[in-house]
Amino acid sequence: MYPKLVIDLNKVKNNLNKTIEMVKGSGCSLMIVTKGYCADMEIYKLLEESDIDYLADSRIQNLKKYEGTTKERVLLRLPMISEADDVVRYADISLNSEIETIKKLNDAAGRLNKKHKILLMIDLGDLREGIFFENEDEIYHSVEEILKLENIELFGLGVNLTCYGAVIPKKENLSILVDIAHKIETKFNIKLQMISGGNSSSVYLIGKNELSEGINNLRVGEAFLLGDETAYSQMLEGFYDDAFTLEAEIIELKEKQSLPVGETGVDAFGNRPVYEDLGVIKRAIIAVGRQDVDPDHLHPIDPSISILGASSDHLIVNADKTESNYKVGDIVKFKVEYSSLLRASTSSYVEKEYK
Ligand SMILES: *Cc1c(COP(=O)(O)O)cnc(C)c1O
């Protein structure tokens, strides 16, 4: 069945070992982030056998699949109050920034007779989750409130960078997090176990030996999956970028002109597309679409074909310059970037195959 996401477990394992070597070699503990591929259970088996410390995901449904794991489970997205019970049930640690939510987690933990650990998130300027780093009063007030809660342990601090604001982690911003942690420790006479210094955009600092002292955890998804550090989009040495590939089938192959005929309005997604006049070209329609991939972040492995566009269920490819003699029914292979991997993993129309 096509389309198909092909997962090369040997390459995944290679990337996993390289990630462990890199992150744990730097002295940090390692959370492997599993949301990029919908917490696939074959990959879970590799993780379970490995030396990683935590399984982390943004969705409680994914953490729930890891029932019985020997690793600690971490919820990455700030909990919804409406899911507080499940958060305590299925996560050992969650990332938080709202005292109201933390109080609800405390209540849930009481009901379930558990202790729940939290990382208090600090926003160093990326403007996604966390208490803004300049609002020291809010930070201290939150800590004070958290320390009153019987069933919550303030396990440490965390920051997330790059995902929204595209802010690059550096010694300058990460050291602010370490500083805040030290101030909290002194002010409240407590020890914070974990200072989590970000995601795949922080790993480049390890190579440069510039990860701020005091950062003792990283949460890594994309670098592990696709082998790239996400601050400057460089491939990491010894990693594979094709542990995941997508295969899809040609359903039409015809020569047509490259400009639509007639007055044009908006496409199926409300965009007003602009087309380049390439004359009459051989075009392939491939049976995969925006529902299953992100066509802007998908790359044919055959360099002589290129993506022209896509609708929900169709990918249109320029097959004019290729020497390969494609026919209807042939399978075309693609490398995936993160957004395509995410969609392909989530789409119920995409089969999975392991090799
Ligand atoms: C998704 C996510 C990560 C992992 O990001 P990558 O860039 O895939 O390494 C880490 N932390 C949080 C809070 C996340 O939401």
pLDDT at 320: 95
The reply to whether 104 falls in a domain is yes
Do 259 and 190 lie in a common domain? no
Q: Report yes or no: 246 and 6 within 8 Å, Cβ to Cβ.
A: yes
The total of structural domains in the chain comes to 2
Show the domain range for 193. Answer: 9-235
Do 159 and 198 lie in a common domain? yes
Q: Which two tokens stand for residue 41?
A: 């259970």
Three-class DSSP category at 192: coil
Residue of 60, 62, 76, 121 to test ligand 1 pocket, by largest number of atoms within 8 Å of CB: 76
Q: Which atom of ligand 1 is nearest to the CA of 220?
A: 9
From first to last of the 355 residues of the chain, give the pLDDT tens digit. 999 999 999 999 999 999 999 999 999 999 999 999 999 999 999 999 999 999 999 999 999 999 999 999 999 999 999 999 999 999 999 999 999 999 999 999 999 999 999 999 999 999 999 999 999 999 999 999 999 999 999 999 999 999 999 999 999 999 999 999 999 999 999 999 999 999 999 999 999 999 999 999 999 999 999 999 999 999 999 999 999 999 999 999 999 999 999 998 998 888 888 899 999 999 999 999 999 999 999 999 999 999 999 999 999 999 999 988 999 999 999 999 999 999 999 999 999 999 9
Q: Which atom of ligand 1 is nearest to the CA of 338?
A: 8
pLDDT at 171: 95
pLDDT at 269: 87
Distance 221 CA to ligand 1 centre (A): 6
Do 225 and 269 lie in a common domain? no
Question: DSSP per residue over 294-350, as a string?
Answer: -GGGEEESSTT-EEEEE-SS-EEEE-SS--S---TT-EEEEEE-HHHHHHHHH-TTS
What residues contact residue 319 under an 8 Å CB cut-off, 6+ apart? 253, 281, 282, 283, 284, 305, 326
In this structure, the chain runs to a length of: 355
Strands 29-33 and 4-7: unpaired
CATH code for position 103: 3.20.20.10
Question: What is the 8-class DSSP label of residue 35?
Answer: G
- Rounded to two decimals, what is the model's pTM? 0.96
35, 65, 104, 117: which is the annotated catalytic residue? 35
Ligand 1, atom 14: closest residue by C-alpha: 76
Do 204 and 256 lie in a common domain? no
Do 100 and 190 lie in a common domain? yes
Do 139 and 185 lie in a common domain? yes
Distances, alpha carbon 175 to alpha carbons 68, 197, 212, in Å: 36, 10, 6
pLDDT at 273: 86
Q: Which atom of ligand 1 is nearest to the CA of 163?
A: 7
Tokens 């209540």 correspond to what residue? 107
pLDDT at 268: 86
The reply to whether 302 falls in a domain is yes
Do 223 and 323 lie in a common domain? no
Question: Which of these three, 235, 270, 305, is where a domain ends?
Answer: 235
Do 295 and 258 lie in a common domain? yes
Ligand 1, atom 15: closest residue by C-alpha: 76
Question: Which of these three, 216, 235, 254, is where a domain ends?
Answer: 235
pLDDT at 323: 87
Distance 288 CA to ligand 1 centre (A): 27
**Closest CA relative to residue 91, chosen from 50, 122, 58:** 58
Active-site residue, 35 included: yes
Question: Which of these three, 177, 203, 235, is where a domain ends?
Answer: 235
Ligand 1, atom 6: closest residue by C-alpha: 221
CATH code for position 307: 2.40.37.10
